[in-house]
Amino acid sequence: MKTIDSRIVKGALAMVAIVYNVYLFATGHWISGIFFLLATAICVVLFFRSIRLILTFLQLRQQKMEGAKKWLDRINPDHLWKGQRGYYYFLMGSVDIQKNSLSQSEKFFRSALSHGLKMDHDKAAVYLNLAIISANKRKKREAIHLLNEAKKYDSKGYLKNDIKQISKMVNSI
């Protein structure tokens, strides 16, 4: 049985909310229109964001890997917007690396880079994780290259200490 793409349902709901909001303002129901404007804004935001990805991020922030994996398993990456697929694969790699599934997590991290990540510090985190995987596979040259890429994308210094720590680990190989 073929499932309906959730983007279609969310888009239809957002369009109905926008049309109804315009109707409220056009008929002079200003107070109702203002309150319904908030509901319309929520519908439009949810149209562009995956609720399940948001819940996965929350689970990861609380260090609940099993809960994050459960939410990720419920997501069909084909039903995500192009910009969100990279983050889906980034989260899958992050969860799998905790289980020491290095080859699978490497595949997910490389998919995340190929699908694209918006934030530079997210790209830096992916390159850092790939450097850790390469170091564990005793591929020193590749690990050094990936660390340099991580340094390049970590312009704000969020991962500075982690990069130093992994550099020491790679140099000891």
CA distances from 96 to 14, 38, 46, 72, 139 (A): 35, 38, 27, 11, 20
- 21 falls within a domain: yes
Minimal CA–CA distance to 136: which of 90, 95, 164, 103? 103
Whether residue 24 is contained in a domain is answered as yes
Residue 114 located in a structural domain: no
DSSP state of 116: -
Domain range enclosing 29 = 1-48
CB 14 within 8 A of CB 40: yes
Task: Judge whether 121 lies within some domain.
Answer: no
| 20 lies in some domain | yes
Question: pLDDT digits over 29-64, tens only?
Answer: 999 888 989 888 887 887 777 788 888 888 888 988
- Asked whether residue 132 is domain-assigned, the answer is no
Residue 1 has pLDDT above 60, yes or no: no
- This prediction has a pTM of 0.78
Structural domain includes residue 161? no
Q: Is residue 142 part of a domain?
A: no
- Residues of the chain with pLDDT > 90: what percent? 29
Backbone angles phi, psi at 81, to 5 degrees: -70, 155
CA distance 144 to 171: 9
Q: Tens digits of per-residue pLDDT, 85-115? A: 999 999 999 888 887 778 889 999 999 999 9
Number of domains in the chain: 1
